[in-house]
Chain A
Amino acid sequence: MKILKLSSRGAMALVLAASLTIPAWSQTTSSAYAIKGGKVFTLAGPAIENGTVIIRDGKIAAVGANIAIPSDAQVIDATGLEVYPGMFDPITQIGLNEVSAVNATVDVSELGDYNPELVAATAVNPASAHIPVTRANGITSVIAVPGSTSLDLQSGGLIAGQASAFNLAGWTMDEMQINRSVAMVINWPSIQTATFDFASFSVKEKPYADVKKEYDKSVNTLSDWLDRARHYAQAKEKGSPTLYERDLKLEALVPVVERKLPVLVIADQERDIRNAVEFCTKQNLKMILGSGAEAWKVKDLLKDKKIPLVLAPTNRLPEQEDTPYDKPYTEPSELFAAGIPFAFSSFGTAFSRRLPQYAGTAVAYGLPHDEALKAVMLNAAQIFGLADQLGSLEPGKLANIIVTNGDPLELQTQVRYLFIKGQLTSTDNKHRDLYEQYRKRPQPAH
């Protein structure tokens, strides 16, 4: 009971302590597993008591109540445990940002305002210490989003680059990658009169007219880029190669204007969201809204235009001084009631591991529990067009599976087994190392 005495740090310690029971990185050569005896939440139907999941060659082979276990399968006894799809955190900087304060470890954004040719996957560091920490908390795949930081969404330029989806296990990006390019990231230019003045180190108000002018200029430039991309696509398709020069930026935008690649537009304030939706509608782009702190003010619009949302963490301050204190907590249930598809996300790196708690908070404030589970497991996969591979326990999908001792949205729940691409994966991580290190510190003599 020593652990419980840690009280204030107890929550973390419990999670860490839990991982002590997990076997180290499996060295088995077998590619077949059978998880049996647990309660299986497929997210594709009702939960299956005493269900079995068969994994083969990295994929889910079968799910059900009475399924024969193949003879070559390594059997995982999940009696008394619960089986879920691994969680999916769709807006992170995992692999792009190791220690924010150390510049050399930060590769989130590039200089310049228009960088559509950048692909996050090329920069992701597979050896990031954040990856094992995150997966130990049940998150099996993420999207690394360039140009987004949790502090200042404007910092990465207007067109920040392409977001890449990958699994949180592997030695190389090729091994980890799910899809190199799942969305073109646009940091919507917000009309902000309050700007930070570094000379006086304080917030200064700029005249609205000036700020509006800057904003109009940004939007016009954005519009220009898309028009040029359309022209480029046309020339490339029909014109002779001698008549156009290859332009990687425009080439990267072609799938965007052809609606093959969605735009992930980061916007928070009501006006910004409205403007972004209007722009994307006019430009005929497939839009995903990111962050959306004031999405609750534009529910009808989002519903009407069928725009899904990747929601900023619920554990945040309300947007305006007079916004109800619990609006970030109740927003998810409002969005659900309005019929807007949404997923939770951490918008972070070190705190990607909090993803289930962000959803748990929303459950406490009215979001149905099964919807919250979908919003951390299935919805993001659907929003980013990856639902054929991720998000539920169905045959044919990637075997990203977590086996827990309870509700994964609860802080104290422990991940007992973790599969990524069908591989039983270690939950060893930096947090546990540190826990062990300090647990073994010399004790004062009594």
Chain B
Amino acid sequence: MKLRERRRLVPPVLLAVCAVTLIGLVCTARGEGGEPRYFAVKNARIVPVSGPVIENGTVVIAKGLIQVVGTDVAIPPEAWVIDGKGLTVYPGLIDAGTNLGLAQDDDASKKRGAGPAASGPEDRPATTPWRVAADELKTDDKRIESWRNAGFTTALTVPDGGIFPGQAAVIDLAGERPGDYVVRPRASVPLSFKPVGGFFGFPDSLMGTIAYVRQVLDDTVWYAQAEPIYQANPTKTERLPYDRTEFILSRALQNNELVLLPANNSIQIVRGLRLASEWKIRAVLYGGQQGYEVAAALAASKIPVLVNLKWPERAKDSDPEAEQTLRELRFRDRAPGTPAALAKAGVKFALSSGGIAEPKDIFKSVKRATDAGLTQDAALRAMTLDAADILGLGDRLGSIAPGKIANLVVTDGDIFNEKTKVKHVFVDGRWFVVHEETPPEKPGEKKPADDDGAAAARSNHVAGVGR
């Protein structure tokens, strides 16, 4: 509360400067001042995902949570009421694999990946599990806002670079301070099997990389067992050597963090399943684009998959005359059929934007999946409740039900119809009004809450913020 008090003392002139210089997020928080944090969307079509569609329904949001949803609902007098006539309310979409809010400096992540040449597993090459995405969050990442305006309220944001690049976080896509964004700071441990050693360092082969991961996990298990023994008998046991990797990972695994295993093609997927059972970890496969070939095996394993929506395609700067192999053409043709195949086989999966740069391309990718047989209901589920379940947050995210975090997206139609527009987004009960792309600062368009000029500071997509 200190922050808020201090900000009340900020003179209006400074606020105006703040507005002009686009320090948007500091300014947006101001809206969270004295007004009640109650909202209601009434007379809307509500798609709760966890239950049947409610026509002419009302959803009430109170202090960041969904209070009640239904047709015959009392709206609290302190609520700001939005008339939802002609609108549809969905749970906020979850992007189950992205690097939103993380530095996109390729060179830096390459450097982290490479590191000094290692001569063996003892040098812990390209291993930085202590890099916690939640602590490196850059809320000025422009993509956060464009994702939110497209209806995404939550993301699993994953650090990259190296074999153990760090720990991924589940974040909501709004907040006053970076910490506000974080739903679960240590959500998962991503792995990469890409050899990092180059010509001179260990490991420089896939074989070496997997052996290395196996070694690290074994060391971690040993550390987790040895640590309490030593702590209980410090005078009878030799002091335990400290290893940062083992120390961090043992805690991550004790916390039951998900371990994300790379598995894009069918061979990698089958390998991922085998390693998951061998390593006794809470595994989730990511990539999964050739899942259509091994859907049955995936279903039998009950291991969920984060399917990368960046479908394989010919690189734009590739040689136009280069021979296209049948294998590549087949993969490009069939990959979008993976979600449908997984749904049919009963595999639990979520969808991730992977390397997609624009939210509109995410929806184009989803459309290719639905064109290839995935029902829109299943697509929505994969982007909401199933994603939440896989991330272990199904109790608080992914559907419109009392007690869940108030992450909602309000549209003027079917969310998968390309003509549909997102009108409102709620993130943790913060209200964002999404405007169409029109030139900013048109007089007379300002919302009452924006009369301090803060709205002009925000991008032209968003006017009302964080009430």
Contact = CB atoms under 8 A, between A and B. Distances in A.
Interface of A: 191, 193, 198-201, 205, 207-209, 211, 271, 320-322
B326 A205 contact: no
Interface in B14-42: none
A418 B169 CA distance: 77
B327 A208 contact: no
Interface string B298-331: 0000000000000000010111111101110000
A348 to B, nearest CB: 26
Contact of A322 (B315, B317, B325): B325
A271 B319 CA distance: 11
B198 interface: yes
A292 B74 CA distance: 81
Tell me the dominant secondary structure on chain B's binding face. loop
Contacts of B242: none
Contacts of B321: 271
B125 to A, nearest CB: 14
B325 A207 contact: no
A198 B325 CA distance: 26
A322 B328 CA distance: 11
Contact of B204 (A201, A205, A211): A201
Contacts of A200: 198
B204 A208 contact: no
A205 B318 contact: yes
Given A198-B199, A201-B198, A191 B319 contact: yes
Contacts of A209: 317
A200 B318 CA distance: 21
A321 B318 contact: no
A211 B321 CA distance: 13
Contact of A208 (B320, B323, B326): B320
- Give the 5 A-B residue pairs with the shortest CB-CB distance, closest first: A207-B317, A321-B325, A201-B199, A208-B319, A320-B323
Contacts of A322: 323, 325-326
13 contacts: A191-B319, A193-B318, A193-B319, A200-B198, A201-B204, A205-B315, A208-B317, A271-B321, A320-B323, A321-B323, A321-B327, A322-B323, A322-B325
A199 B325 CA distance: 27
Contacts of B323: 320-322
Residue among B204, B318, B322 with most chain A CB within 10 A: B322
A321 B325 CA distance: 6
Nearest to B326: A322
Interface in B336-375: none
A201 B198 CA distance: 5
Nearest to A270: B321
B325 A208 contact: no
A198 B315 CA distance: 22
Contacts of B327: 321
Contacts of A198: 199
A201 B320 CA distance: 26
B199 A211 contact: no
A205 B316 CA distance: 12
Nearest to B318: A208
